[in-house]
Chains A and B, each alone.
Chain A
């Protein structure tokens, strides 16, 4: 027993020793820290909470692999539409999603919107994120970007909402009005994916809000971490349908994404309390509900 504890201690200590902060920065929104542990580089936002949430991680030995489970879930959206022309990502993080799309979709334009200029800078410096004629970044509030894009009548085939993993929830990105604007920005049959909360009272509120805006939802809860990704489409009362394709499975394999085992996890079951009120611009206490 003692030896076991000693062993465990050693393991823990070696982890502590090899965890190295390589960069620390105070942006106008938060403190950002870049850590490296056992060849894994992560971006995290320093918070007062005990549970540390990494914003982005990259395996330095295999930088193309998607580390986060929820990112794997998001990628399975390609089984709905394997050839989107334009993708919009709200929330850049380390830029792992746009990088993954760049690898597997050679002709797609990928626009990422990030509110914090420091995050964009660090994604470029530490996470191999690069802009070019089809990989674009806009430093803006997500809602402002979407409202502007609607005025200029832009359309996207796939919109990914990934702005909800920080300590503070942007409440105006979690209302039915925002989701309706997002829906309007989608092409007919366009796909929406959102990385969402899976604990706290907010789960029910958020779920009914997505349901109100999009009608039918498809849910993918990742097997180990339990992250939930919501899929919905700009369709007439129809949930998006995902079809397995062997060629796509092979295309995604280098990213570490196992499409074959992910797709069976997608289902339309609603396991939330549907009696809670929908979140609106008038009523959006998301941060208070998330305690």
Chain B
């Protein structure tokens, strides 16, 4: 039960990351165009952020790992998306003023808008591995299955956003959707934590 929940939450995180990344292109285009270097900036920032996130998430999992803390990462990621919804125009205006070259402009704007939320989202994968791993022997399989689920989530997030969401919703609506997915995922993790600990308490009483 707990395992299945963690896996579905990791799926949601994978989905949200790519949903967010695709919208990045739409957000930057009015200021920096939709040229190949704009996508270059976005992908660079996302890859860099994820790599940092993996590193921090792995470290973080060393100290008292719990589903509670796992849930907090989701909630933090959700909250980190909110400034993008409200301040993206101000940020891009300011960057446009300072940097004339759209390559560095888009790189700077992507960094300011996407780095922090994506770092936090990147923390989820290694932390999930820590929570799911039961033994040294099965750790590779656990990690493999987790990457399968979260990357599948990314694939589906990509196709659904680019094929349908942009046709049905405005960019900010999709960003709020991403926020909600991450926030609700965090709440579910917290709920699992409290259910789990009360179950353990009952078990302890029974013993």
The contact size tier of chain A is: 20 to 34
By the criterion CB–CB under 8 Å, are B32 and A144 in contact?
yes
Which listed residue (B26, B36, B102, B167) contacts A144, Cβ 8 A? B102
By the criterion CB–CB under 8 Å, are B170 and A172 in contact?
no
The yes or no answer to A189 lying at the interface (CB within 8 A) is no
| Contact indicator per residue, chain B 7-38, by CB within 8 Å of chain A (1) or not (0) | 00000000000000000001001111111100
Known A-B contacts A282-B172, A283-B171, A288-B166; A141 and B30 likewise in contact (beta carbons under 8 Å):
no
Known A-B contacts A172-B29, A175-B30, A281-B30; A28 and B167 likewise in contact (beta carbons under 8 Å):
no
Known A-B contacts A147-B96, A283-B171, A285-B167; A28 and B30 likewise in contact (beta carbons under 8 Å):
no
Q: Which of A144, A280, A289 has the most CB of B within 10 A?
A: A144
By the criterion CB–CB under 8 Å, are A144 and B171 in contact?
no
**CB-contacts of A137-167 with B (<8 A):** 140-144, 147-148, 151
Closest to A28 in B: B36
Q: Which residues of A contact B30 (CB under 8 A)?
A: 143, 147, 172, 175, 177-178, 281
Closest to B33 in A: A141
Known A-B contacts A143-B30, A171-B29; A282 and B170 likewise in contact (beta carbons under 8 Å):
yes
Q: What's the Cα separation between A172 and B92 when bound, in Å?
A: 15
Q: Which residues of A contact B32 (CB under 8 A)?
A: 141, 144
Q: Does more than half of chain B's interface fall in helix, strand or loop, or is it mixed?
A: helix
Closest to B93 in A: A147
The yes or no answer to A170 lying at the interface (CB within 8 A) is yes
Q: What's the Cα separation between A283 and B175 when bound, in Å?
A: 13
Q: Which residues of B contact A282 (CB under 8 A)?
A: 170-172
| Contact indicator per residue, chain A 268-291, by CB within 8 Å of chain B (1) or not (0) | 000000000000111111001100
Q: Which residues of B contact A178 (CB under 8 A)?
A: 30
By the criterion CB–CB under 8 Å, are A147 and B31 in contact?
yes
**CB-contacts of B145-193 with A (<8 A):** 163, 166-167, 169-172
By the criterion CB–CB under 8 Å, are A115 and B172 in contact?
no
Distance in Å: Cβ of B32 to nearest Cβ of chain A: 6
Closest to B27 in A: A281
Q: What's the Cα separation between A160 and B31 when bound, in Å?
A: 20
Q: Which residues of A contact B100 (CB under 8 A)?
A: 148
Which listed residue (A115, A151, A283, A285) contacts B33, Cβ 8 A? A115
Q: Which 5 A-B pairs have the closest CB atoms?
A: A141-B33, A172-B29, A282-B170, A285-B167, A283-B170
> B interface vs A, CB < 8 Å?
26, 29-36, 96-97, 100, 102, 163, 166-167, 169-172
Instruction: Give me 15 A-to-B residue pairs in the complex whose CB atoms sit less than 8 angstroms apart, sorted by A's number.
Output: A28-B36, A140-B33, A142-B33, A143-B30, A171-B29, A171-B34, A172-B29, A172-B34, A178-B30, A281-B29, A281-B30, A281-B171, A282-B170, A283-B171, A285-B167
Q: A284-B166, A288-B166 are known contacts; what are 7 more A-B pairs with Cβ within 8 Å?
A: A115-B33, A140-B102, A148-B100, A151-B97, A170-B33, A170-B34, A284-B26
> A interface vs B, CB < 8 Å?
28-29, 115, 140-144, 147-148, 151, 170-172, 175, 177-178, 280-285, 288-289
